[in-house]
Amino acid sequence: MHVYALALEKGGVGKTCLAVNFAAAFSRLNLRVLLIDLDAQAHASQWLGCDAEQLRPEDSIIGIINGRKVPECIRPTEEGIALIPAHAAMASLPIQLASSPNSGIFSLQDALDQIRHPTPHYDIVVLDLAPARGPVLATALAAATRCIAPVQSENLVLRALRALIDSVAQAQRINPHLRGVSIVRNRYAPRSAGDMIYDHALCTFYGEQLLRTIIPIRASLRDSAGLQQSVFRYTSADAGEVRNLFLDLVEELISLDGGT
Ligand SMILES: Nc1ncnc2c1ncn2[C@@H]1O[C@H](COP(=O)(O)OP(=O)(O)O)[C@@H](O)[C@H]1O
Ligand SMILES: [Mg+2]
């Protein structure tokens, strides 16, 4: 069971967009996929068609750290992706992670063990994180097998990337299954001389961690969210191209981590 954590301490870089469409791409390859929404803003849950009004806090990861069994919190979606949704009450998750009955840095790893043993219920688990460092990221990295960071060629984004790489190095001390960070260039369009400098820095310093597939700015990725569809269900002029790019990304990950 591969556990991919979508992380970067910068909003709007495409964590949720990649999480949802990646998960959908794995699912199209007939892999069993679970997405856990770890961001109180619940964008991934909404994108997957989950109605926030109908949810209770205990339907989210909050329920699990307070003793609910993981399968009780999993719901199906029209994408064929299983979902543990987020709830606005998760705004206090950093505090709850320190005080709830099943809390602590290994709480998510322990939770995933419930669906890993004796045989894995899922092939792929995708964790969608908020743009923040702190206990939620640390708990996710303690459970992840690989961290995925979407980036653009911008100073603030590259700073956030450096901070994330440090967090992952720390997490590897307690999680030997965490293979490292893979970087996805998303909404990637270096145009100005300044952009080119950051693009060059990205390739020079992080070349080994860069995935080959680059996701450009595409209307289907912006517009499909509002219709609560992944690009695999959304129909538009550029959706086919974007689907192929996500299938390429997923193939790259399978070649790094092996099939399941
Ligand atoms: N490659 C892309 N092309 C067009 N729009 C994109 C692309 N990637 C992300 N977006 C859009 O940009 C916005 C921010 O992306 P999002 O995934 O929510 O970022 P994050 O989760 O990192 O805060 C969303 O509206 C999303 O649909
Ligand atoms: Mg997000």
Domain ranges of the chain: 2-257
Q: The domain at 2-257 falls in which architecture?
A: 3-Layer(aba) Sandwich (3.40)
| The predicted structure's pLDDT at residue 155 | 86
Q: Which ligand is closest to the CA of 184, given by its number? A: 1
What percent of the chain clears pLDDT 90, i.e. is strictly above it? 85
Ligand 1 centroid, distance to 8 Cα (angstroms): 13
More confident residue, 196 or 49: 49
Residue 239 binned pLDDT confidence (cut-offs 50, 70, 90)? very high
Q: What is the DSSP letter of 253?
A: H
Token pair listed for 190: 């270096």
Query: Is the pLDDT at 100 greater than 80, yes or no?
Result: no
> Does the CB atom of residue 185 touch ligand 1 within 6 A?
no
| The predicted structure's pLDDT at residue 91 | 95
Ligand 2 centroid, distance to 176 Cα (angstroms): 27
**Burial class of 96 by CB neighbour count within 10 A (0 to 12, 13 to 18, 19+):** buried
Q: What is the mean pLDDT of residues 170-196?
A: 91
From the CA of 39, give the closest atom in ligand 1. Answer: 21
pTM of the predicted model as reported, rounded to 2 decimal places: 0.97
Residue located nearest, by CA, to atom 14 of ligand 1: 12
User: In the chain, what is the straight-line distance between the N-terminal and C-terminal CA atoms, in Å?
Assistant: 7
Q: To test the ligand 1 pocket, which listed residue (185, 221, 238) has its Cβ within 8 A of the most ligand atoms?
A: 221
Ligand 2 centroid, distance to 22 Cα (angstroms): 14
Strand partners, 240: none
- The answer for residues whose C-beta is within 8 angstroms of residue 135's C-beta and 6 or more apart is 93, 94, 97, 98, 105
Residue located nearest, by CA, to atom 25 of ligand 1: 222
Residue 190 binned pLDDT confidence (cut-offs 50, 70, 90)? confident
Ligand 2 centroid, distance to 238 Cα (angstroms): 22
Q: Which ligand is closest to the CA of 15, given by its number? A: 1
Token pair listed for 122: 């899922």
The pair phi, psi for residue 90, each rounded to 5°, is -70, -5
| The predicted structure's pLDDT at residue 115 | 94
From the CA of 150, give the closest atom in ligand 1. Answer: 22
Longest Cα–Cα distance of the chain, Å, equals 54
Q: What is the mean pLDDT of residues 1-15?
A: 97
From the CA of 218, give the closest atom in ligand 1. Answer: 3
- ∠246-131-218 over CA atoms, to 5°? 35
Minimum mean pLDDT range among 24-28, 49-53, 83-87, 216-220: 49-53
Residue located nearest, by CA, to atom 26 of ligand 1: 222
Query: Is the pLDDT at 194 greater than 90, yes or no?
Result: no
| The predicted structure's pLDDT at residue 59 | 96
Across all residues in the chain, what is the average pLDDT?
94
Q: Strand order in 82-84's β-sheet?
A: 82-84, 33-37, 124-128, 2-6, 146-151, 181-186, 210-215
> Does the CB atom of residue 131 touch ligand 1 within 6 A?
yes
- pLDDT tens for 109-143 read 999 999 998 888 999 999 999 999 999 999 999 99
What is the rounded distance in angstroms from the CA atom of residue 91 to the CA atom of residue 12?
18
Residue 81 binned pLDDT confidence (cut-offs 50, 70, 90)? very high
